[in-house]
């Protein structure tokens, strides 16, 4: 018998808040975190906007010496994990260190460190490369830093499946708990790729919005005037725990994990399958694992990137899976406010889906002023709404044809 898995802790560092509660409140109110790039001189770039985490000081979350050994993405990971563990009530000495682990989705890793060290190499030669370069940039060091901080001696690893990384990390982490091997896992996604190389590289494939004169209106999923995604950064982390362990220590339960689906389009390096083949497969897989029918889902947190191809393809896939139910379900993209946080997207959107179920609130899709005729579902345009949500599905898709789907339900 698989153990039931519940969510007992939440933590976030996002373009709209330095905590889960602050980020969720901003999203509920439709507030955008997009603005002109300040992390580097963007004057020569086609895209000059992004959803940055503003005024972030790692020393507010950890020792200054500790933070200086980390790339920005690791700092985000540790900060979000600190909040999530505190929220779950898992303090030092309150758990078996060998029965807890960490799995995080990281799409790219230490871009900031790579750029800084390459500049040193070119300007001063190989002997001057900082010795902490590799320990700061490698993708597995995000969860590594989290595990070191909390003395988590169970599984510790990174999942890298592009923009599905955060969701796939959560889906993977659940398996350790379901099997009984772990009592809890810290999981989610993290990314910090708003650098000159990151923005320039995505510009090279014409993936980013160039609405530089209206930053807060640039991310507009399902709108006919969308022109690309807006890059975001940050971390979304949840504490996953066996129901038995959570109840035994009197933990608060936000929601229960219900199902996970993972697939590959096997179609194209960057574009989704035109019929949403892989997305359909992964959604059906998640529903099957959850033992649910389409009519059991009340909300879908869409991948909804604000790109010309993704949004209608996802709409088509939802229609294929949900049939007539598609017109009665509410679908929204919180990327309209946070931007696309790449490897962190699945983590923060899982967190938002959990809170949607917990509070009974459908977050809006901001900037949806002129709906694309090909996108004709209820996307909760511009204003969120309260309502009963029995179960929520969180969709994530990524380059390489990756598809990761999570379902959370009310705990009963």
Percent with pLDDT over 90 in the chain: 98
- Return the active site residues: 163, 303, 340
What H or E segment, with its residue span, contains residue 235?
strand 234-242
Phi (first) and psi of residue 259, to 5 degrees: -165, 160
pLDDT at 293: 97
**C-beta atoms surrounding 375 within 10 Å:** 23
pLDDT at 347: 98
Per-residue model confidence as pLDDT tens digits over 354-365: 999 999 999 999
Domains along the chain with CATH numbers: 5-248 (3.40.47.10), 260-409 (3.40.47.10)
pLDDT at 345 over 90: yes
Per-residue model confidence as pLDDT tens digits over 239-259: 999 999 999 999 999 999 999
For every residue of 69-90, DSSP letters joined together read TS-HHHHHHHHHHHHHHHHHT-
The mean per-residue pLDDT over the stretch 77-101 comes to: 97
* 35-42, Cβ contacts within 8 angstroms, sequence gap of 24 or more: 35/215, 35/216, 36/212, 36/215, 37/194, 37/199, 39/194, 39/195, 40/195, 40/196, 41/196, 42/196, 42/199
pLDDT at 99: 98
The Cα angle at residue 166 between residues 164 and 172, in degrees rounded to 5: 95
Per-residue model confidence as pLDDT tens digits over 259-281: 999 999 999 999 999 999 999 99
The mean per-residue pLDDT over the stretch 391-401 comes to: 97
Integer Cα distance of 396 and 90 in angstroms: 29
CB-based burial, 235-265: b 16+ in 10 Å, e otherwise? bbbbbbbbbebbeeeebeebbbbbbbbbbbb
The mean per-residue pLDDT over the stretch 374-378 comes to: 98
pLDDT at 1 over 90: no
pTM of the model: 0.97
The Cα angle at residue 384 between residues 381 and 388, in degrees rounded to 5: 120
Integer Cα distance of 159 and 150 in angstroms: 20
Per-residue model confidence as pLDDT tens digits over 14-61: 999 999 999 999 999 999 999 999 999 999 999 999 999 999 999 999
Indicate the angle between helix axes 72-88 and 141-150, nearest 10 degrees: 40
pLDDT category at 412 given cuts 50, 70, 90 is: confident
Integer Cα distance of 331 and 353 in angstroms: 11
The mean per-residue pLDDT over the stretch 320-339 comes to: 97
- Cβ neighbourhood burial of 412 (10 Å; 0-12, 13-18, 19+): exposed
Both tokens assigned to 260: 């996970």
The mean per-residue pLDDT over the stretch 308-337 comes to: 97
pLDDT at 194 over 90: yes
Q: How far is CA 29 from the centre of its chain?
A: 19
The Cα angle at residue 329 between residues 323 and 332, in degrees rounded to 5: 120
Integer Cα distance of 362 and 197 in angstroms: 36
The mean per-residue pLDDT over the stretch 57-73 comes to: 94
């Amino acid at each position: 018998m698989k153990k039931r898995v519940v969510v007992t802790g939440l933590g976030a560092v996002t373009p709209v808040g330095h905590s889960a509660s602050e980020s969720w409140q901003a999203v509920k109110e439709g507030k955008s975190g997009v603005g002109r790039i300040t992390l580097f001189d963007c004057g020569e770039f086609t895209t000059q906007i992004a959803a940055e985490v503003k005024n972030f000081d790692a020393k507010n979350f950890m020792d200054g010496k500790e933070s200086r050994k980390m790339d920005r993405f690791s700092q985000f990971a540790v900060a979000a994990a600190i909040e999530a563990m505190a929220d779950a009530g898992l303090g030092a000495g309150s758990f078996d260190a060998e029965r807890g682990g960490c799995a995080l989705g990281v799409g790219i890793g230490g871009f900031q460190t790579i750029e800084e060290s390459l500049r040193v190499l070119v300007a001063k030669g190989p002997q001057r490369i900082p010795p902490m370069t590799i320990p700061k940039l490698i993708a597995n060091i995000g969860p590594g830093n989290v595990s070191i901080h909390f003395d988590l001696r169970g599984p510790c690893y990174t999942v890298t499946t592009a923009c599905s990384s955060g969701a796939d990390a959560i889906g993977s982490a659940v398996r350790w708990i379901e099997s009984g091997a772990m009592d809890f896992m810290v999981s989610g996604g993290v990314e910090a790729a708003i650098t000159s190389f990151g923005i320039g590289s995505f510009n090279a494939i014409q993936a980013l919005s160039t609405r530089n004169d209206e930053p807060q209106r640039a991310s507009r999923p399902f709108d006919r005037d969308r022109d690309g995604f807006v890059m975001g950064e940050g971390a979304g982390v949840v504490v996953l725990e066996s129901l038995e362990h959570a109840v035994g220590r009197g933990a608060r339960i936000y929601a229960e994990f219900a199902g996970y689906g993972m697939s590959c389009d096997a179609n194209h390096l960057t574009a989704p399958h035109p019929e949403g083949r892989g997305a359909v497969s992964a959604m059906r897989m998640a529903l099957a694992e959850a033992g649910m029918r389409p009519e059991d889902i009340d909300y879908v947190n869409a991948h909804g990137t604000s790109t010309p191809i993704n949004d209608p393809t996802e709409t088509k896939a939802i229609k294929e899976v949900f049939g007539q139910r598609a017109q009665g379900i509410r679908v929204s993209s919180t990327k309209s406010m946070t931007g696309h946080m790449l490897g962190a997207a699945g983590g923060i959107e899982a967190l938002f889906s959990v809170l949607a179920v917990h509070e009974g609130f459908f977050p809006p899709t901001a900037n949806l002023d002129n709906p694309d005729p090909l996108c004709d579902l209820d996307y909760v345009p511009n204003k969120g709404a309260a309502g009963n949500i029995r179960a929520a599905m969180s969709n994530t898709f990524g380059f390489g044809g990756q598809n990761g789907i999570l379902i959370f339900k009310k705990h009963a």
